[in-house]
Structure formats: C-alpha cells, structure tokens
Structure 1
Amino acid sequence: MLDIWDMLKDLIIKTEKRYDKVKYRLKSKLNLFNDVILFPYRGFGNQNEAFLRGRVLEKEEIIHGDVVVPNSLYYNLKKTWKRYASDEIPGVGVKGILNGVEADSISDHEGYFDLHFKDLHLTELKNGWHDVELEITHMPFDLSYIEMAMGEVLISSQQSSYGIISDIDDTIIHTDIINKIQMVLNTIRYDSENRVAFEGVAELYKVLTGENQNPLLFVSGSSYNLYEMLDTFCQLNDISKAPFLLRDLGIGPSQWIKEDSHSFKTRNIEKILDVYDQLPFILIGDSGEEDPEIYLNIYEKYPNRVMAIYIRHVHSDARKREIEEMTTGLDIPFLLMEDSHEALEHAKSMGWVS
C-alpha cells in the first residue's frame, strides 16, 4: 500500500512539473507574466555560519509591491488568494553575499532557495542584523526578472545570555486555532491590520531579546504564503523583529500538502539549537495544539538547553489539567500563563531580565 501511495505522489509531482513548464511557456509567449522577483525571508546564524531561505516568484503588486489598497473584505480576500495562488519559478540560480562571503543555490520545484554561508568567523560579524545581497545568476525560462534583491540575517554570538523560540498562532496573535473553521475564516477575511495581538506580547519579547542581544526566532506551523502578512502584523504591533521559520505548502518527496506540525517544529527547533549550541533557550507557545508536548520532548532530548517553557492557555480546563499532569515534577520552570505579563514577571523574578 505504501508503494502505491509513493508512486501516486511521484506521479503528481511529475505532472505538476510538466504543467508548470507548459504554463511558463504559454504565459511567456502571451506576455502574461509579471516580473519575476527574489523574495527573501529573514535568515539567522552565529558568527561562523548563517542560513537564509527565500523564494523565486512572479511579482504580485498587491503582495510584493508598494501599492496601498483599502482595508476592506474585497481586498483582503484578493490578498489571500494572491498569497496562496503564487506563481513560483523552479530551476533559478541564486547567489547571496553576506559581508563578502558567497553562497549559491538553485530554486526547487516550489521556487524555494536555501543559502548557507560558511566561515563567517573570518569576517568578524557583530551581533545584530546584516544585509545580504541577492542576485539571480541563471534564469531557465524566457521571462523578465528583477536581477537583484536585499535580504537580511540575524547574527547572534554564543556569548548571548539565552535565546527565545516562539510559536505564532494563539501565542502572539489571536487565531482561534482550536476552532479550525474560525481559524480559516480569520485567515481569509482579515489582513495584518485587522488581526489582534495578545496584550503584553510586544513588551515581553522586547525585554527578553534585549535589543538583539538574545536571538528571537519564530517557529510556526503557518505557511510561508503568510510571511508578508505576519511580518507586517509584527511591525504594526511593535513586536520584535525576528526570522520566521514556517511550513511549505505543496506536494514533495517528504510531504503531502504540508509536513506534520510536530515533526516540522521539532526539526526546526533542533536546527536552531545546533546553530546556537552554547545557548540555553526559553520556549514560548500555547495550549491550542501540541506545543507543550513538542517542547517537553525537546527538553528531554536537550536537558541542559531549555531554561523555561511558557505556554499561553487558550484551551479547555481539561486540557489545562492534562498539561499540569504532564509537567508535574519537572525540574525547570513551566508556566501555564493567562497573559504575557505573567511570563515577564516570572523572567524578572528569575533575574533573567530587569
């Protein structure tokens, strides 16, 4: 049965690739393509190596441009459609330069490219945000494109006090993740201006990060299609600037539509712990799905790397009792909080922040 499933998935992937090639040729001949662009996501790293992910896409002015549209249901629906109906370009050569260090990549069948910058210790990068020059070096289709773009990575040294890894949905932003229908409606109807941040989130993250002294990274089951909305939401709500590690939507060798959230979050949290292998971390999430279980598993695997776990309670009393039972006897702080102020007060009481 597994072989049949794998064969079906392989057939769908090959069919999608053939369809894309025909679509690119047809749109190119009919001059229906907008300019192709590099759309980088924020990267992260230490003073020896850094990682930056991005995507090669057809530019949609309403998403990637400077055009300002009314904050109305019509335009919010249109934005949602454009975010998920993106035209990605595979096989594009991409080069990145970070403080003189080069890295190369080729976009995959979903348009994603991944750059890995090595030997950064030779450049003596300081803590904080650093620009990355991006360039399209090879375009396999006869399409017009914008050759250059700028990305950025957060560099944090191993001398930082600690790091912070945080979820997004129902952790910093009201999502109603336990009500799937309402969650989908919120995504479709509301843009970044309409979404609501939890009280105290901005202050908590600003104090914990200490102005980029301690790295903050968001690891969320949300998809990269929502990257621009989430980034704007954080800016509007004065939430600390940070990389977003999000999920890919699509069919690939290792996933069907999207990777399981538990495995996705675990894999990316472990990558962060490997990059900052000298730092302990505060893990922040919510009780809506599996954050408590994921974070406790991380703690068991990396017992000396987790300082505390903060979980926003957004579920039922039964779920609260279940979490309390799971964490009985835990030898690190585990806070099941009603609001962000509780986490901030706890961090102050531990002497982690002032």
Structure 2
Amino acid sequence: MTEDLQTLDYFERKSKGFFRKQKVRIKHKLGWLGVPEIIPCRGFASYAAGQAFIAGALTEDKGLEKLDGKNTLGENILAMLKRYSGDQIPSARVKVELSNATKELVTEENGIFKTKLPVNFVRKKEKTRWLHYHAELMDKTGVGSEKYSAQGEILVPGSDARFAVISDIDDTIMVSHSTQTLSKLRLILTHNSRTRKPFPGVEAFYCALHLGGNGNDANPFFYISSSEWNLYDLIDDFCTFNKFPKGGLFAPRNTSGHFKFVETRWRKPRT
C-alpha cells in the first residue's frame, strides 16, 4: 500500500459515519486530503499551584502556505475553502511531555486534547517566562510512516505581573463584523491574517497595559476566540503581525477548562 493510500485508510478509520467517510474519499480524489497535524494551544501555568494546563487539537493539515498582503482574491478564497475542508481527528492517541511529566491522551470527538501536568518550579517567585512542551501522535498512520509532532508554549506569570488581561479577539482587536453575516463571510473568504484589519490604537494600548505604569512589568495577556481550530494559526499570525503582546491563545468553545484554571490559579492582585 502506498503512503497516499495509507493516509486515506487512516482518515477513513477515524471518520465516523457514512457521510464523513465519503467526504474523506472525495477529498482524496480531488487531491485535497492532507496529513495529521497537531495544533498546540499556547497554555498557562501557575507557580503557586505547580501545574500547567495543556490543550491542542489533532486536525488534518491542508499544506497551506502562509499568505501575505499580496495574495490575489482567488488565492485567498481557495486557501480558506481548503482550510474549512479540513477535518478534526477523534479517538487518536496523543502523548504530551513537559519537563519530566508525560501523559498519553485520547482526542475527543472534535479532535481536542487537554490535560493538566505538574511542574516542579525551584522557586515560587520567579519572573514571567515561557515553558515549552512536546506533543506527538502515537497512532500508526501507515507502515514506515513518519511521526507527527509539535512544540507548544506555556505562559507562566511571575512576580513582575501586577494584573492579567483577558481579551476577546473578534470585534475587539480584529475587525470581524460578527453580527453582520454577509460582511463576516466576505472578510473570511477574501482576506487573510496579513490583510485583516486591527482596530486603530488597540495595539499601543495593549502594549502599554502589558508593560505597566513603570514600563518594566510583564502583565500577562490571554486572548480568546470563538473560532474553530482550523483558524488558530490565522489568529496567531494576525496577533504577531500586528505586534500585539504575546499571550495565551484559547478557543473557549473547545478549551473552556483553560479559563476555570486561570481564574482559580491566578494569584490575588497585590495591594
């Protein structure tokens, strides 16, 4: 069996129901069937609790090239159609590793995986920093097939953080026309992460909040979006390109546990 057919067989085995299997076969015939891809969410950890919350999704990688502000209308539309044709992969085994802690998870019906892992911090009052974790697909997708893995990041607010900012994305920092269906659809289909517009002045305001009144703080940011996981990289690139403070990036529809964890583990503000 060729590698192409092995990939088709894997997606068919993971697809539940007649119509989902037919969708996989049609994409294969059109040359649109991708390979498994792990999308790691930028998570959150607490010095006080000694825990980290990790989440991500196992999806179909469409092999999309990163677009820029010079792409044609047709290229933007085709890229978005391919993006939305991708499927999330349920019932797959994913192993996550953070320092010396390891856990094997099974993706949910929507392809999501999430867990808490212990973190052994030497000191409890360190400055804000980022940790890295590793996620790897443990399923065999075919004989001799390559391993699919990804590196994720975890934000650990420290002693240089005086408060935290939790911000929506749609129509808060990114013009989305969420309540206007046709305008929203036009933006989604005809624009990409480099041509979507931020609200004027928000980036400077957020950077000022991040640095605090003395300019030396590292107040953490947590961004939330109601979008699906197939738009995660688009939102991430939008925030980076427009120079918003780097922070946790969550899709609350699928990782609601993140916010309960942030709320219960975030230390009380200093007086």
Interval containing the TM-score (normalised by the shorter chain) = 0.7 to 0.9
Q: Residue 151 of structure 1 corresponds to which residue in structure 2?
A: 152
- Deviation string, structure 1 residues 179-214 (Cα, Å, up to 9, x no partner): 232122212211112111112222222221228722
Q: TM-score by structure 2 length?
A: 0.76
Note the C-alpha offset of 1:104.
Answer: 2.8
Are 2:56 and 1:54 equivalent residues in the alignment?
yes
1:227-266 aligned within 5 A: 227-248=232-253
SS at match of 1:52: strand
User: Structure 1 CA distance, aligned partners of 2:74 and 2:252?
Assistant: 26
Aligned to 1:92: 92
* CA RMSD in angstroms, aligned pairs only: 3.5
Instruction: Map 1:125-136 onto structure 2 (within 5 A).
Output: 127-136=128-137
Structure 1 residues 150, 212: CA separation in 2 closer, same or farther (over 3 Å shift)? Answer: farther
Cα offsets for 1:32-85 (capped at 9, x unmatched):
6533221212111212111122111222111xx568795121121122212222
Q: Is residue 276 from structure 1 mapped to residue 249 from structure 2 by the alignment?
A: no
Letter in 1 for 2:51: E
CA distance in 2, matches of 1:227, 1:246: 8
CA distance in 2 between partners of 1:173 and 1:69 (Å): 16
Partner secondary structure for residue 56 of structure 1: strand
Distance of 1:25 and 1:81 partners within structure 2? 15
Task: Work out whether residues 46 and 158 of structure 1, in 8 Å CA contact, stay in contact via their aligned partners in 2.
Answer: no
Q: Distance in 2 between matches of 1:25 and 1:74?
A: 24
Distance 1:104 1:54, change over 3 A: same
Q: Which residue of 1 aligns with 2:18?
A: 19
Unaligned runs of 5+ in 1: 1-15, 250-263, 281-351
Letter in 1 for 2:220: P
SS across alignment from 1:175: coil
Mapped partners of 1:268, 1:37: distance in 2 = 22
8 Å CA contact 1:224, 1:248 repeated in 2: no
Aligned residue pairs total 248
Shift in CA distance, 242/82, structure 1 to aligned 2, threshold 3 Å: farther
Higher helix fraction (1 or 2): 1
1:26 Cα deviation after fit: 5.8
Deviations 1:114-168 (A, max 9, x none): 13212443687752222112222234x5484533221111111377211000011
Q: Distance in 2 between matches of 1:98 and 1:195?
A: 34
1:1-354 aligned at under 5 Å gives the runs: 17-19=16-18, 22=21, 33-47=33-47, 48-62=50-64, 71-121=71-121, 127-139=128-140, 142=142, 144-157=145-158, 160-210=161-211, 213-248=218-253, 269-279=259-269
**Matched-pair contact (CA < 8 Å) for 2:130–2:156:** yes
Give the whole-Å Cα distance in 2 for the aligned partners of 1:221 and 1:133: 25
Secondary structure of 1:222's partner? coil
Contact 1:92 1:136 in 2 (8 A): yes
Q: Is the 8 A contact 1:35 1:58 kept in 2?
A: yes
Q: Provide the secondary structure at the position in 1 that maps to 2:187.
A: helix
Cα contact 1:173–1:195 (8 A) shared by 2? yes
**Partner AA of 1:18 in structure 2:** G
Deviation per CA, 1:216-236: give whole Å up to 9, x if none. Answer: 001232332221111111111
Unpaired segments ≥5 residues, structure 2: 1-14
Q: Tell whether the 8 Å contact from 1:36 to 1:146 is kept in structure 2 after alignment.
A: no
- Offset from partner CA, 1:243-279 (integer Å, 9 cap, x none): 2222558xxxxxxxxxxxxxx98x7644421131434
AA aligned to 2:40 is P
Q: Distance in 2 between matches of 1:36 and 1:22?
A: 16
Q: Give the number of the structure whose alpha-carbon radius of gyration is greater.
A: 1
CA distance in 1: counterparts of 2:204 and 2:39, whole angstroms:
29
